């Protein structure tokens, strides 16, 4: 373990720039020479400020035809079926699959800066061992994730590598054990091939830090890749991983899914193991509970992830997990779906591409026989204020202490978000916050019951991925506050028809300022659009059924 960041009363911390330089150099050294894009080509791919680099893995000449087939033709479920077949029956070895995704992740890293810790060598070694074990005992049953490479957000601990969570203070301090969820996934046969980038403090929607730099959106490099699971979002969009794991306390799975065009599932609290992660906040901090969940290239992969985790007695890995098993529920029989539509949140007007995608989704659902009912959220501004107050509970004193100990400055998005000031809460303030939260929960319970719906759909936020360091929207945190599971379904991209409407904003000055950040389809070319599907607290399996039905209608 390095002691380079240790301080004493008589010595100053090592300059943070030195530590960052070592971390980035170490990461670069772990990409094999044969997997590196030539400098001239790399400059060409990234020359335009709005460059779309999704094509680079296919075009750069590093991947073989088999690599491309493995990484481009299947989702996680298809690939698991082919892994189970094995090469003698027309499938693949684990080494073939893991190597292909390691290569593609290396390419994705070079054009988006999405990876923090490279685990290629250990991943291929594990794949080789899995293949050897299978060859020695070919009749043995395989665990459900056998041989599948899965990426992890940087906050998940893996022995031997850092969980630096984008803070110099935690760099060069390798973990000695697995977090709870990786431990569970390993028991199911998974292989971890990399960890992915997050923002400093993990509380902004721009995955940028002094340790590893900024993750770029592969659809349009001028736009944010989101956060705090921004590295996961970019990597999955590039298909350097087809199933990854993020976390969410205010949108951190859903924002990157929306920004990058992937699927993402935010579970209810204490459904998926969360314990043992690196944390920039005080241990034991009360309030909204963070959750872990999947990002993937298909919704059914997200659903399968949830099924496996909930079927694996997750409380054995994280004592806080609820004893809510996967029940094998079926879609509603003998009736059509009834979906509540939140057309806008009453605070911000959907920008043209978002407005269009919601209208198109409604039309497709209606044509498929889905019953749609309008739902209006009550007093959203008050509810979001309750959520926001939680994030200032300790006035970021713990995170600020880590920054100060390492002598590193705050990045721009941390400055912009405004969570590092204030005085925090007293114990009386906490009591009052708990009362306020309970009132919000009761109000939304009553709204759900009176609406009598299978799920809600809405826009996660009123805009597509915005320009770098300009994300200010917090309405998505409502669903964390009341602990409703929710997921992102991609619906398309910004289109030429999404022209600016100079008179579109309808909710006042703050709405107008946000609305006018959308400057037309040319500037936002390639930006993904999506809808959010929302379920009732602790009914994650029900939500997965309804969302999969919706996805099949919207993306047949």
Pull the structure tokens for residue 470. Answer: 């300009």
250 labeled part of a ligand binding site: yes
CA angle 44, 50, 51 (to 5 degrees): 35
pLDDT digits (tens, 9 = 90+) for 15-42: 999 999 999 999 999 999 999 999 999 9
Q: What is the mean pLDDT of residues 455-478?
A: 98
Percent of all residues in the chain with a pLDDT value above 70, rounded to a whole number: 98
Concerning whether 228 is annotated as a catalytic residue, the answer is: yes
How many residues make up the chain in this entry? 556
Catalytic annotation, pick one of 94, 103, 151, 153: 153
Q: For residues 218 and 536, what is the distance between their CA atoms, to the nearest angstrom?
A: 33
Q: Is 252 a catalytic residue?
A: yes
Q: Tens digit of pLDDT for each residue in 433-453?
A: 999 999 999 999 999 999 999
Cis amide bond preceding 154, omega within 30: no
Catalytic residue of the set 94, 228, 241, 544? 228
Q: Are 528 and 492 in contact (CB under 8 A)?
A: yes
Q: Determine the Cα–Cα distance for residues 314 and 94; give it in Å rounded to an integer.
A: 26
pLDDT at 378: 93
Q: State the pTM of this model.
A: 0.97
Instruction: List pLDDT tens digits, range 469-505.
Output: 999 999 999 999 999 999 999 999 999 999 999 999 9
Question: Token pair for residue 56?
Answer: 């680079």
Q: Which of 484, 376, 377, 481 is nearest to 439 (CA)?
A: 481
Asked if residue 202 belongs to a known ligand binding site, the reply is: yes
Q: Tell me the Ramachandran region of residue 435: left when phi exceeds 0, alpha when psi lies from -120 to 50, beta otherwise.
A: alpha
Q: What is the mean pLDDT of residues 352-362?
A: 98
Say what the pLDDT of residue 404 is: 96
Residue-wise pLDDT tens digits, 372-391 = 999 999 999 999 999 999 99
Summarised one tens digit per residue, pLDDT across range 283-309 is 999 999 999 999 999 999 999 999 999
Q: What is the rounded CA–CA span in Å between residue 287 and residue 90?
A: 51
pLDDT of residue 112: 98
Evaluate whether 531 touches 458 at the Cβ level (below 8 Å): yes
In terms of Cβ atoms closer than 10 Å to its own Cβ (0-12, 13-18, 19+), residue 367 is exposed
Rounded to whole angstroms, how far apart are CA atoms 379 and 377?
A: 7
Q: Residue for token digits 């996680």? A: 76
Q: Is 252 annotated as a binding residue?
A: yes
Quick check: is 355 catalytic?
A: no
257 is in an annotated binding site: no
386: buried, middle or exposed (CB in 10 Å: 19+, 13-18, 0-12)? buried
Give the domains, in start order, of the chain with CATH numbers.
Answer: 16-316 (3.90.1300.10), 338-554 (3.90.1300.10)
192 CB-near residues (< 8 Å, 6+ apart) = 119, 122, 123, 149, 150, 151, 152, 158, 182, 185, 186
* Continuous H helices in 425-508: 427-451, 478-481
Neighbours of 3 (CB within 10 A): 8
396 annotated as ligand-binding: no
With a cut of 50, say whether residue 188 has pLDDT above it: yes
**pLDDT tens per residue, range 114-158:** 999 999 999 999 999 999 999 999 999 999 999 999 999 999 999
């Amino acid at each position: 373990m390095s002691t380079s960041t240790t301080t004493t009363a008589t010595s100053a911390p090592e300059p943070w720039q030195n530590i960052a330089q070592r971390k980035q150099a170490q990461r670069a050294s772990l990409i094999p020479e044969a997997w590196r894009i030539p400098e001239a080509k790399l400059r060409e791919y990234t020359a335009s400020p709005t460059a779309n680099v999704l094509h680079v893995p296919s075009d750069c000449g590093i991947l073989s035809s088999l690599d491309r087939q493995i990484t481009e033709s299947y989702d996680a479920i298809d690939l698991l079926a082919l892994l189970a077949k094995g090469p003698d029956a027309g499938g693949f070895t684990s080494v073939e699959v893991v190597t292909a995704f390691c290569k593609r992740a290396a390419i994705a890293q070079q054009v988006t800066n999405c990876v923090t810790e490279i685990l290629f060598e250990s991943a291929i070694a594990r794949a080789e061992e899995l293949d050897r074990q299978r060859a020695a005992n070919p009749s043995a049953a395989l665990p459900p994730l056998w041989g599948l490479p899965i990426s992890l957000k940087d906050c998940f601990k893996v022995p031997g590598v850092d969980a630096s969570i984008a803070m110099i203070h935690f760099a060069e301090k390798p973990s000695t054990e697995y977090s709870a969820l990786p431990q569970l996934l390993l028991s199911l046969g998974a292989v971890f091939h990399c960890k992915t980038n997050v923002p400093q403090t993990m509380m902004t929607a721009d995955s940028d830090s002094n340790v590893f730099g900024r993750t770029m959106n592969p659809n349009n490099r001028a736009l944010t890749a989101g956060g705090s699971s921004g590295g996961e979002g970019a990597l999955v969009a590039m298909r350097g991983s087809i199933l990854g794991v993020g976390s969410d306390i205010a949108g951190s799975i859903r924002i990157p899914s929306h920004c990058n065009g992937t699927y993402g599932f935010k579970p209810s609290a204490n459904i998926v193991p969360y314990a043992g992660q690196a944390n920039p906040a005080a241990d034991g901090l009360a309030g909204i509970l963070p959750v872990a969940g999947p990002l993937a290239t298909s919704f059914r992969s997200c659903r399968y992830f949830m099924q496996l985790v909930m079927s694996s007695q997750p409380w054995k890995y994280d004592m806080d997990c609820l004893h809510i098993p996967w029940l094998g529920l079926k879609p509603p029989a003998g009736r059509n779906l009834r979906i509540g539509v939140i057309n806008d949140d009453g605070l911000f007007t959907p920008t043209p591409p978002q407005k269009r995608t919601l209208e198109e989704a409604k039309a497709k659902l209606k044509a498929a026989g889905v019953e749609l009912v309008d739902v209006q959220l009550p007093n959203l501004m008050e509810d979001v204020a309750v959520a926001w107050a939680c994030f200032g509970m300790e006035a970021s004193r713990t995170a600020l202490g880590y920054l100060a100990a390492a002598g590193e400055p705050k990045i721009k998005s941390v400055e912009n978000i405004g969570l590092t000031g204030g005085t925090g809460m007293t114990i009386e303030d906490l009591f009052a916050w708990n009362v306020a939260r309970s009132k919000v929960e009761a109000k939304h319970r009553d709204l759900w019951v009176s609406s009598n719906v299978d799920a809600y759909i809405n826009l996660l936020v009123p805009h597509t991925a915005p320009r770098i360091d300009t994300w200010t929207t917090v309405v998505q945190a409502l669903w964390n506050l009341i602990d409703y599971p929710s997921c992102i379904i991609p619906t398309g991209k910004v289109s030429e028809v999404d022209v600016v409407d100079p008179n579109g904003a309808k909710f006042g000055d703050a709405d107008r300022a946000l609305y006018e950040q959308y400057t037309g389809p040319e500037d936002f070319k390639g930006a993904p659009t999506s809808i959010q599907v929302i379920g009732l607290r602790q009914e994650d399996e029900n939500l997965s059924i309804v969302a999969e039905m919706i996805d099949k209608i919207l993306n047949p």
